[in-house]
Amino acid sequence: MERGQRGFTIIELMVVVAIMGILAAVSVMAMGSFGRSAGLKATTKQLSADLWHARQKAIAGSVPYSVLFDTDDNSYTEFKDDGSGTPANSGNGQIDTGEEVVRTRELRGDFSLTDINLDPAGVVIFFPRGTLKDGTTGGYVEISDSEHMSRRKVSITASGQTRVE
């Protein structure tokens, strides 16, 4: 090295590399948290859209449609709740023999149904006017991430409206 030229010492380079490593690690952790938050938001919006779909099917088909929640399987099922020709079973919120299952949707592995507070318990029943079954009040379904750090609710009113909170 010529006189007057200076470079970085190995210690200075190691400090810079360590700082860059710490910044990279913090960035990756922040992006992971952002991804979970965005995924939770998308999952609750999907649930709200599926509830809206069931309501629209009930109005268009002039028959009850229901969405039944299963916390054990972390899923929900939309079905035509017409009793399959048996009037006593129409709009009962149970999948009876012969009733058409529209879809079953399982939540992604990192999200779960953590709190379901519905009247009647565990099911939303839409009648042909688009409202919930007479005498029911609606409620909410809460979904959280796997670490229960974030939670979002989908509320359902007696008039059949849904809202993501």
pLDDT computed for residue 119 by the predictor: 87
pLDDT computed for residue 71 by the predictor: 93
pLDDT computed for residue 110 by the predictor: 85
Q: Which two tokens stand for residue 45?
A: 């919006």
pLDDT computed for residue 27 by the predictor: 72
| For residue 120, cis peptide bond before it (omega within 30 degrees of 0) | yes
Instruction: Please identify every stretch of the chain with a pLDDT value under 70, giving residue numbers as ranges.
Output: 1-5, 29-36, 148
CA angle (121, 134, 68) in 5-degree steps: 30
pTM for the structure as a whole = 0.79
> Rounded to 5 degrees, what are φ and ψ at 66?
-130, 155
pLDDT computed for residue 139 by the predictor: 96
SS3 156: strand
Tokens 């609710």 -> residue: 153
Domains and CATH numbers, the chain: 10-164 (3.55.40.10)
The string of pLDDT tens digits covering residues 78-101 is 999 999 989 999 999 999 999 999
